[in-house]
Structure 1
Amino acid sequence: MLRSTQSDPDAAKGVAFGVSAYVMWGCFPLFFALFQGVPAYEILIHRVIWSCVFLIGLISLLKRWSPVVQALSQPRRLGRVLGCALLIALNWGIYIYSVETHQVLQASLGYFLTPLVNVALGVLVLRESMARLQLVALGLATLAIVIQFLLLGELPWISLVLAFSFGTYGLFRKQVPLDGLSGLFVETLLLLPLGLLALSWLSLQDLSHFGEQEKTTMLLVTSGIVTALPLMAFAGAARRLRLATLGFLMYINPSIQFLIALSVFKEPLNTIQLVTFLLIWTGLALYSWSAWQSRPREAAAS
């Protein structure tokens, strides 16, 4: 009895942390829409630089340098971390571009697709077995993309790049023995030289927006803090919740983006796009049900 009363508050904290993380991620379009006239690549450069600076202070405050030093002392193992860094930078850059070009619906579609991409990568790369419902879910997602391509005459490349870059990032991240906070710091640290070189080039070419206006400068600096805060909340949730619970909470992020795209940015949603979303939502429902059904078998195996 004592054990259950101790675990329930911990689980409640985990849910609170998880909801906070996904709500913050879901509201990212509102933040990045504030960067008027600043190109996506420049925001990305500052996001890398200021994330790294903020994480230095945070890791120092939490006294979490041990895993970072251990990772940096093994250069041969940094290849996968660099791969993670490049993939997350690509994901960040395309996401900022989607907000700047008012294609948040495509971004939300990409994050709805991500769990299904994870399933596909697990089968193709890790040779994991796929349940029948997961196979149907993957088929529905593929059908949705084909419909967009054939009937709209365009490939939803933003959705696909976001889904595959984040899915592949997750695949690489599983092979890196670093927690979320330390891992993100090492990733941004590896990107820092490129970010500083790019910022120096922009300054020399008189193309930098940093320092021009106080509002823009503060937003660029804040982008680093905004990047790290949801990750901290997610780390708190991951320590307290089962993976299946985190998986269900994950849909909060693209759902909020979807609503923001329609209600705030007034992006049009035609019938074909609605059909593709419905197909993917159906696929996600089947995937979630399959994951829920597999819990007793996973518990017995463990």
Structure 2
Amino acid sequence: MSSNETAQNASRGGLSAAAGFIAWGIVPIYWKQLHDIAAIELITHRLVWSLVFLVGVLAWQKNLGTLRAGFTSPRVIGLNLISSVLLTVNWLTYVWGVNQGFIIECSLGYFLTPLCNVALGYLILHERPRPLQWAAIGCAAVGVGVLLLKLGHFPWIAIVIAGTWATYGLLKKKSALGPLAGLTAETLLLLPLAVGALLWWHHTGQGALGRVNAWQHTLILSAGWITAIPLLLFAYGAQRVRLTTLGLLQYLAPTVQFLIGLFVYHEAFDTGRLQAFAIIWIGLLLYTADGFWTQRRTFLKTVAGS
């Protein structure tokens, strides 16, 4: 591949990844249209309809056979089941938080995720964080402490979102499946429970289908592509851009969420919250700078060795 084709490929990948993160960022507007439906039911619909979409995409790609790798042994099935539960808890907490007026705190969860990744790497994988990474983790801890001391409010929504997403990412490192097949396998494992719940709610007259307006029906049935399209955009971009670029682009999603919470839904953001976010953002700057410097040193060593 020529250098011009490589640059074009990277450019398309960057635009695709950015579009995926921006799509994740504006999703709160979608969930807000369904605020009068219980979050647990919304997530159940999301699981069922996203599976329909994902299986359709895999069939179109003629890759349905890749799902077999997710069911080869009890250990693999167990890992996928744990991943699916973590993802469901993440989704449920996020949707509940959005519809209860905590979009800004949800965005905080995704700002904290990279720092949780470093902490989990240290605690579970015994990786040794570099000094700037330790400083970034310290900033996150101080920021959470400021919220607790100044507002008397422990940001449990943000902590659950960051913790479940970071742990989910850790488990995905052990998966032999790609992002699309992996999400499909995880969703399949919870499908019987999801279908059973939807049928029960419909039988008892508590389900949304059949009792909400036409617009909300359309939104509910759109949960599949709302879930999967950003993932596909991200997966396409992740294969074509450098990890450092992807690390920067990931901040688009919580930034857009934060701006929507602040300027569209006018959520509270007083001095205490500003101070806490500022400290956490400083931590993210340190984390990002460390990534750049590490990549630069690796590049220089590679050049010197060649």
Common fold: TM-score over 0.5? yes
- RMSD of aligned Cα (Å): 1.4
Structure 1 residue aligned with 2:27? 28
Distance in structure 1 (CA, Å) of the matches to 2:100 and 2:282: 28
Tell me how far 1:40 sits from its aligned partner. 0.6
For 2:176, the aligned partner's letter is P
Find the residue that maps to 2:239 and give its secondary structure: helix
Identify the residue that residue 173 of structure 1 maps to in structure 2: 172
Name the aligned partner's letter for residue 258 of structure 1: F
Name 2:50's counterpart in structure 1. 51
Q: Which amino acid aligns with 2:294?
A: S
Q: Deviations over 1:155-188 (max 9, x none)?
A: 0000000000000000011111111100110111
Whether 1:234 aligns to 2:234 is yes
The whole-number CA distance in structure 2 between the counterparts of 1:64 and 1:200 is 30
Per the alignment, residue 126 of structure 1 pairs with 125
Deviation at 1:224, TM superposition (A): 1.2
Aligned mates of 1:36, 1:105 — CA distance in 2? 16
Deviation at 1:298, TM superposition (A): 4.0
Return the TM-score normalized by structure 2.
0.95
Deviations 1:101-160 (A, max 9, x none): 010010011100000000100111111111101101100100011111122112000000
In structure 2, the residue matched to 1:91 is 90
Q: How far apart in 1 are the matches of 2:183 and 2:110?
A: 19
The amino acid that maps onto 1:252 is L
| In 2: Cα distance, 1:267 partner to 1:151 partner | 17
Task: Give the conservation status (yes or no) of the 8 Å contact 2:43–2:92.
Answer: yes
Alignment deviations for residues 205-226 of structure 1 (CA, whole Å, 9 cap, x no partner): 2110112232222111101110
AA at the equivalent of 2:268: P
SS in structure 1 at match of 2:207? coil
Q: What amino acid sits opposite 2:62 in the alignment?
A: K
Per-residue deviation at 1:78? 1.2
Which stretch has the larger CA shift, 278-287 or 28-37?
Answer: 28-37
1:8-23 mapped onto 2 (5 Å cutoff): 8-23=7-22
Residue deviations 1:84-106 (CA, integer Å, cap 9, x gap): 10001001001100111010010
The structure 1 segments of at least 4 consecutive aligned residues displaced by more than 6 Å after TM superposition are none
Q: Which moved more, 1:200-209 or 1:165-174?
A: 200-209
- Secondary structure, counterpart of 1:269 in structure 2: coil
Equivalent residue number for residue 264 of structure 1: 264
The unaligned stretches of length 5 or more in structure 1 are none
Confirm or deny that 1:220 pairs with 2:220: yes
- Aligned partner of 2:251 in structure 1 is 251
User: Could you tell which deviates more after superposition, 255-264 or 213-222?
Assistant: 213-222
Structure 2 residue identity aligned to 1:152: L
Mapped to 1, the partners of 2:251 and 2:93 lie a distance apart of 20
Equivalent residue runs for 1:35-114 within 5 Å: 35-114=34-113
Hey, what's the Cα distance between the residues in 2 that align with 1:244 and 1:183?
24
Distance across 2 between alignment mates of 1:154 and 1:289? 30
Counterpart CA distance in 2 for 1:286 and 1:295 is: 14
Distance (whole Å) between structure 2 residues aligned to residue 103 and residue 143 of structure 1: 21
Distance in 1 separating the partners of 2:116 and 2:129: 12
Distance 1:267 1:184 in 2: 32
Amino acid at match of 1:269: F
Match of 2:187? Answer: 188
Describe the SS at the equivalent of 1:27: helix
Equivalent residue number for residue 209 of structure 2: 210
CA positional deviation for 1:297: 4.0
SS in 2 for 1:287: helix
2:161 aligned with 1:162, yes or no?
yes
Q: Distance in 2 between matches of 1:109 and 1:186?
A: 29
Identity of aligned residues (%): 37
Amino acid at match of 2:288: S
User: For 1:191 and 1:216, how far apart are their aligned partners in 2?
Assistant: 24
- Give the residue type in structure 1 aligned to 2:287: Y
d(CA) in 2 for partners of 1:221 and 1:75? Answer: 33
Distance 1:215 1:174 in 2: 39
Of 141-150 and 199-208, deviating more is: 199-208
Find the residue that maps to 1:294 and give its secondary structure: helix
